[in-house]
Amino acid sequence: MRLKVWEVLRPILAPSPIVLKFLLIGLAVRFLLAPWTAVPYDAYPFYSAAAGTLAGTGPYGMVLFSYPPLFAVISYPLILLYSQFFDPGNLGVFVPSMVEVSRTTGMLVPFVTAPAFNLLLKTPLILGDMLVGLLIFRTVRSWKGEEIAVKAFLIWFLNPLVIFVSAVHGQFDVLPAYCALVGMLVFMDRRYLLSGTVLGVGVLLKIFPVYLIMLCLVSLSLILVREARAGKGLVTLRPLALFIAGGGLSLATILPFLLSSSSFLEFVLRRGTYTSLGGLNLWFLSPVIEALGTGGWTGGAVFPLGTLLTVLGLALTILASFLLLRRPEGNERENFLLANTFVIIILLLTQPVTNPQYLIWLFPPLLLLSLERPQMLAKLYILSVVGLLYGISLQSGLAFFYPLAQCFGSPTVIALNDGIMAFYVSASFVRFTILSILGGVGAVVLASIMLPARLDPVESLLRRWTNWRCRHA
């Protein structure tokens, strides 16, 4: 029986011995890091969703979880299982000594989640990392052969930013990224019902796959027009109808929420919207402007900057999709991958705040695009390093170790508080400057992906660097 199960799982989990080996190493690293690390500010809404659901008020009962409901749904079974054996009241603790540092930095909450909670929360994310890696492997193997597929798998699964986002930071971006990857791949295979369903599920995790749905709708519209001109009649509507039906089917996953109250939708759309600007995008100068005492760029309630940027992002998405899908050069697959990558870059560059974890949305399509355009690989590496440094500079690396400190007392919570205070207060301008520089580098590298090689400054720099190294080797 056990052999039979393994026979079924082997092609999925161990498509090659080297993949299995690094899969186990990658999983071990992640599961070792997961319990002892978390960002208190980001873990608190997830804790509140879990605690609220256990208490009977639902994930939105404490009004702190402001994402669409599906991540709370995915993470709930493990929390429920834990609560059958252990007291969920021990999943987090208020830490009075963190109040001052939390107030000063504005980026902490004096509440530390327990190692058990961190592990329960991050397990679906770690499995998400694995699923994306294995899907990349299978896809690349069918396109380019096993050797390149192994390399692509390793680039994803051992990528330090990917490990950091899921296993240390505990952000679930990999789950919608997986849905986006599956949705786009099956769309290329013309399996529109499945594509609509999976992309819809992605939107119910995080909003960003909406932009990919726009790309798919543009693609379907072009097909519809082409086939209508060929006189194919009503059958031309079938792909669009299947795609929309798939999207409708995905809503079934949250049907109980929709039927019980729709107020969470208003809450998710309003509270989930940023009113500040910055990060690895066009607004990268915001931290340094804030440091100069002007308060940074903000889009408050008076001026709906976030809404305007959303409209701009959607308009550019439709335009880019239309132009790239009708591109005469390149094959259909390359053009679609290009459009997929460009759409995510447009979103990353124009949205109000682009945190490092959002780069996870881009990496799978960028990795696949690198099969046709190898220069993309260097950009993925640069973005990984920049994203990792940005994540550490934003919170100070110390902020990730509160669960370890709270559990073992080494380092002590007080030592972490002091270190973070020094980082924020003593080195405030330096920190803001570093954030702006890293944000600027990230934005330039992101923008360079969309430029032709002859206009690409990153490509040019890398070429010069390679030449310099060759001369001095």
Partner 1 sequence: MRSEVWAVLAVVTLLLISSFMIPTGGLEGTELELRRDGETAVLHYSLPGHEHEYPASVVAFPIEQYRHDDITMLFDIGGVDDNSSNPANVQGLIDHLGADLQNIGSSREVEVIDHDALASFFSSGNGTLILASSLWDDIGLCHAAEAWVLAGGLLVSIGHGSIPFTSEMGGTLQLHYSSLDYDGGRDVSTTPFSQAFGWRTVAPSNGLLVKDVLDASGTVLGPIYHRGMDLTTMALIPYGQGAVLVLGGPIDKPFRASMEDVFAWDLARCLEAEVAWAIGEPTFVRVEVGSAGAQGSVALDTVDDSTYSLMGQNLDDTHLVFLHKLVEN
- Smaller CB separation from partner 1, 73 or 371: 73
**Residues 317 and 327: beta-carbon distance below 8 Å:** no
Does 44 contact partner 1 by CB under 8 A? yes
**Residues 445 and 383: beta-carbon distance below 8 Å:** yes
For Cα atoms 297, 363, 327, give the angle at the middle one, nearest 5 degrees.
Answer: 90
- Smaller CB separation from partner 1, 50 or 150: 50
Candidate residues 275, 289, 415, 433; the one interacting with partner 1 per rule CB under 8 A? 275
Distance CA 408, CA 404 (A): 6
Shortest spacing between CB 106 and partner 1, in angstroms? 5
Distance CA 41, CA 103 (A): 12
Non-local (6+) Cβ contacts of 56 within 8 A are none
Candidate residues 255, 331, 471, 472; the one interacting with partner 1 per rule CB under 8 A? 255
CA dist 104 → 64, 99, 110, 111 (Å): 21, 9, 12, 15
Candidate residues 15, 69, 170, 352; the one interacting with partner 1 per rule CB under 8 A? 69
Give the SS3 label for residue 298: strand
The DSSP code sequence of 294-355 is I---B--SSS-HHHHHHHHHHHHHHHHHHHHHT-SSS-HHHHHHHHHHHHHHHHHHHSSEE-
Candidate residues 12, 63, 292, 455; the one interacting with partner 1 per rule CB under 8 A? 63
Q: Which two tokens stand for residue 157?
A: 């699964």
Distance CA 219, CA 190 (A): 11
* Contact set for partner 1, span 158-187 (CB under 8 A): 186
Give the SS3 label for residue 205: coil
Does 22 contact partner 1 by CB under 8 A? no
Candidate residues 253, 273, 375, 433; the one interacting with partner 1 per rule CB under 8 A? 253
Q: Going along 109-217, which residue ranges are E strands?
A: 111-113
> Residue count at the site for partner 1 (CB under 8 A)?
66
Candidate residues 250, 317, 384, 393; the one interacting with partner 1 per rule CB under 8 A? 250
Does 70 contact partner 1 by CB under 8 A? yes
For Cα atoms 147, 160, 362, give the angle at the middle one, nearest 5 degrees.
Answer: 75
Nearest CA among 351, 394, 387, 393 for reference residue 366: 387
* Contact set for partner 1, span 74-133 (CB under 8 A): 74, 76-77, 80, 83, 87-89, 91-92, 94, 96-97, 99-100, 102-103, 106, 108-111
Candidate residues 15, 26, 35, 59; the one interacting with partner 1 per rule CB under 8 A? 59
* Contact set for partner 1, span 189-208 (CB under 8 A): 191, 193-194, 197-198, 201
Shortest spacing between CB 448 and partner 1, in angstroms? 35
Candidate residues 34, 39, 73, 349; the one interacting with partner 1 per rule CB under 8 A? 73
Candidate residues 58, 278, 352, 391; the one interacting with partner 1 per rule CB under 8 A? 58
Name the residues that contact partner 1, by CB under 8 A: 44, 47-48, 51-64, 69-70, 72-74, 76-77, 80, 83, 87-89, 91-92, 94, 96-97, 99-100, 102-103, 106, 108-111, 186, 191, 193-194, 197-198, 201, 249-250, 252-257, 260-261, 267, 271, 275, 300-302
